């Protein structure tokens, strides 16, 4: 974390209840750094909290609904990255074998292979 913002003060600025912020900490969707009795966030977490506040205020979603929305958003972004990789590989590849090699070795798909391998070890 490069710089820190007091979580409680920031929540007040973006119209988000402290309890909601702590819900997302417990869910693992945001991370905080604890210093004594106070919590601090970095810029990336501040952006996520702004998005949470917008979803809650504009859509009227509760914390659980926002959690579902954020998880779906992450999955959509992952699929978009995979599609982008596939289309780039199609443009560059000269054969099916080369296409399959490029796709199977792309970072977007390697994460899936790692997750599946780790899941099989359990």
> Spelled out in words, what is the top-level CATH class assigned to the domain 5-60?
mainly alpha
| pTM across the whole model | 0.73
Write down the domain spans for the chain. Answer: 5-60, 70-121
Pick 50 or 119 by higher pLDDT: 50
Q: How distant is the alpha carbon of residue 121 from its chain centre?
A: 25
Per the listing, tokens 């693992």 go with: 28
pLDDT above 90 covers what percent of the chain?
Answer: 62
Instruction: Count the alpha carbons within 13 Å of 47 in the hemisphere toward its beta carbon.
Output: 3
* Structural Rg of the chain based on CA atoms: 19
């Amino acid at each position: 974390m490069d710089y820190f913002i007091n979580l409680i003060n920031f929540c007040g600025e973006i119209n988000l209840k402290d309890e909601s912020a702590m819900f997302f900490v417990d869910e693992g969707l945001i991370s905080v750094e604890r210093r004594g009795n106070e919590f601090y966030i970095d810029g990336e977490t501040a952006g996520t909290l702004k998005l949470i506040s917008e979803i809650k205020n504009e859509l009227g979603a509760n914390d659980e609904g926002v959690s579902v929305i954020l998880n779906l958003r992450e999955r959509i972004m992952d699929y978009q990255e995979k599609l982008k990789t596939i289309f780039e590989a199609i443009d560059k590849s000269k054969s099916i074998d080369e296409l399959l090699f490029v796709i199977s070795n792309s970072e977007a798909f390697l994460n899936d292979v790692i997750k599946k391998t780790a899941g099989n070890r359990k």
